[in-house]
Amino acid sequence: MRVSAKLNYLRIAPRKVRLVADLIRGKSVDEARSILNFTVKKSTIPMLKLLNQAVSNAKNNFSQEEQSDHNLYISEIRVDEGPKLKRWRPRARGQAYEIQKKTSHITIVLDQIDKDALKKPVKKTSKKEEETKEEKTVSKDTVKTKKEKPKLKPEAKKVKPKTETGVKKIFKRKAF
């Protein structure tokens, strides 16, 4: 059962709305509500209203019970660009610059959580991992363990003879 809700012509730029949409994508309805309640962005309020609208659509259209909020998750959320309101701003020397006031269209799709999907997924192994497992088992059985070489002590550092530096070296002359 897929339930959708749309919000058209929201007067917030789609780039800003997508920041909030990415936070709740794939989350359950309860988790998405708590995320939206504690997020400090301008687009969280309309997004929360849209989420509540989608849940009420699921209850009314598909006669879901009150406890069905726990079974719903956000399967798809899409933020598209709406029409731009074009305004003009006066600039120096008689010029005018265009200002684009952008709008957004938001579509949210809810779906039920499958009980089978909640079970542990089977982990797939790649061919490389399988080959390394086989090599390890073969190497343990057939190859004899090599004797480890004893670690050598580090060599003592050679002490360099001290050379004259500084004032003594400068005034040392051969002429005298």
Fold that domain 2-114 belongs to in CATH: Ribosomal Protein L22; Chain A (3.90.470)
Helix (H) or strand (E) holding 132: helix 127-142
pLDDT at position 42 is 96
Among candidate residues 69, 82, 72, 60, the one with its CA nearest the CA of residue 15: 82
User: What is the rounded end-to-end Cα distance, in angstroms, of the chain?
Assistant: 107
pLDDT string in tens for the chain (176-residue length): 899 999 999 999 999 999 999 999 999 999 999 999 999 999 999 999 999 999 999 999 877 665 567 889 999 999 999 999 999 999 999 999 999 999 999 999 999 988 665 555 555 666 667 666 666 655 555 555 556 666 666 666 667 666 655 555 555 566 65
Classified as helix, coil or strand, 126 is: coil
pLDDT at position 17 is 97
pLDDT at position 116 is 60
* Cβ contact 9:107 at 8 Å: no
> Domain segments of the chain: what residues?
2-114
